[in-house]
Structure 1
Amino acid sequence: MTAVVPPPRPAPAPPMVEQMTRTEDGETLNALLWRAGEGWRMVSNAVLGGGIGDRAWVLNAQVAHGYRRTDPDRHLADLARDAGAHGPGVGLMTAADVRAYGGGQDGGVTAVATAGLGVRGWAASWTEPAATAVRPGTVNIVVAVPVPLTDAALVNTVMTATEAKVQALVDAGLDCSGTPTDAVCVAVRRPVPGEETHAFGGPRSLWGARVARAVHQAVTEAARS
């Protein structure tokens, strides 16, 4: 018997990002904002809106290379408010110019990535981390999946996206697994009665494989920008 894979449900609101510009301390800085709206659950390690929960927007804000603020969550919340983003959301930051973002799509999954790779290296380091704060030169990844996932599958997609990021960096000729401050946000649809909630997010599952390919495309494009 041949298995029939149903076509993916198109996402009602894929991450069509808005580009914004602001001036801080005499420096021109940029940001990307995705207004996801209602009906999305997100998992992230972001400084603002991290963890798992309902989220309505994602902000990826460029900050100065000499960033010294000790309240980045408040800073990001203020930037989102000034942009007119409402409700709970996710805030990411990077020293990279976010206008050079990369995008990827596969089977209804959409990914956007920015890559600041000036402080890159391998995750397993045999020296203790420096006591000083690490500069926010970061690989930030936002992924939108147009179906509901269980919490376990949602966490699994973070692993899958991270593995795809490393694969993309190595394929691009970069000798690293990322930077010390990389961040990821995966958004999935909120479950509704009568609709399947998918239980797997690994790279050989239906939706995990699509996440991996979309992230690989996005990071590859961002790393080469």
Structure 2
Amino acid sequence: MRYYFRHETLFLRGTFRAVSTGAGGGLADVATILNHTVGYDFSSDDPVRYMAGLVAGEGLPPDFFGLLTAVRMRTLCILQHDFLTVFVTAGVEPAPAEGPGTINIVIRSEEGMTDGALCESIIVATEAKTRALHAAGYACTGTPTDAVIAACDREAPVAHRYAGPLTEAGSRLSEAVRFGVAEALKRHEGKIRTDAPSFFIFSRYGGDHWV
């Protein structure tokens, strides 16, 4: 996998087996995953077609999953926890610094996962998001437009048949999402000023912590 940014869009490129709760989502093999910032007054009768235009504009093949958000990509948090990479943009209204928001989570495993484990990852990520919101003082469990994409490298041997919260994959995912949502909210709300996405790695040196 490689990822890059273009015009308020995060692009992930690879050979993914993925499940998405976003527009045009489902379970499929895709070559591109994207998270794109739109204006707070954005309206489209066909968001999938809109995102397809973004993909085509990059000269990429048409198989993709995508998410839309009003949150700026400079507040994105990228978290590396062993074989998992998690991308989080988060905003919960009211958020005066950056405007309306959505919590979008993209999960990528470099190790193979069954379709069931990918689906289970969405449950674990949603539970972790809710815990992060409650810890931050929000009474809600999310926003009406939240979405999750969970993906693995489809050419990798299956290493994870399950991804519940007590599994190797699920426990790491839960830690990454809880930390990532909290940090992304701080950036969206202006508590931490940043001009570019933030990157964190889970370290066990000197005790488990994020650096």
TM-score bin (small chain): 0.7 to 0.9
Per-residue displacement from partner, 1:89-133 (whole Å, max 9, x unpaired)? 11110111122111222122110111121269xxxxxxxxxxxxx
Whether contact under 8 Å (1:103, 1:217) holds in the other structure is no
Give the structure 1 partner of residue 22 of structure 2: 46
Give the structure 1 partner of residue 30 of structure 2: 55
Q: 1:216 Cα deviation (Å)? A: 1.7
Match of 2:6 among 17, 20, 23: 20
Whether contact under 8 Å (2:52, 2:62) holds in the other structure is no
Q: What's the C-alpha RMSD, in Å, of the aligned pairs?
A: 2.0
SS of 1:104's partner is strand
Whether contact under 8 Å (1:103, 1:221) holds in the other structure is no
The whole-number CA distance in structure 2 between the counterparts of 1:119 and 1:141 is 20
Whether contact under 8 Å (2:18, 2:27) holds in the other structure is yes
**Unaligned runs of at least 5 residues, structure 2:** 188-211
The whole-number CA distance in structure 2 between the counterparts of 1:68 and 1:189 is 33
With structure 1 as the length reference, what TM-score do the two structures score? 0.75
Runs of 4+ off more than 3 Å: none
Give the structure 2 partner of residue 175 of structure 1: 139
Whether contact under 8 Å (2:56, 2:62) holds in the other structure is no
Give the structure 2 partner of residue 216 of structure 1: 178
**Does the alignment pair 1:116 with 2:80?**
no
Give the structure 2 partner of residue 4 of structure 1: none
Per-residue displacement from partner, 1:125-160 (whole Å, max 9, x unpaired)? xxxxxxxxxxx8311000111222222211111100
Q: 1:65 Cα deviation (Å)? A: 1.1
> Residue type of the partner of 1:62?
T
With structure 2 as the length reference, what TM-score do the two structures score? 0.80
Whether contact under 8 Å (1:58, 1:91) holds in the other structure is yes
Residues 1:43 and 1:119: Cα distance change in structure 2 (over 3 Å): farther
Q: 1:185 Cα deviation (Å)? A: 0.4
**Does the alignment pair 1:203 with 2:165?**
yes
Match of 1:140 among 84, 104, 108: 104
SS of 1:84's partner is coil
Match of 2:12 among 10, 34, 40: 34
Q: 1:46 Cα deviation (Å)? A: 1.3
The whole-number CA distance in structure 1 between the counterparts of 2:61 and 2:137 is 40
Structure number having the greater strand percentage = 2
**Unaligned runs of at least 5 residues, structure 1:** 1-12, 22-29, 121-135
Q: Percent identity?
A: 37
Whether contact under 8 Å (2:122, 2:150) holds in the other structure is yes
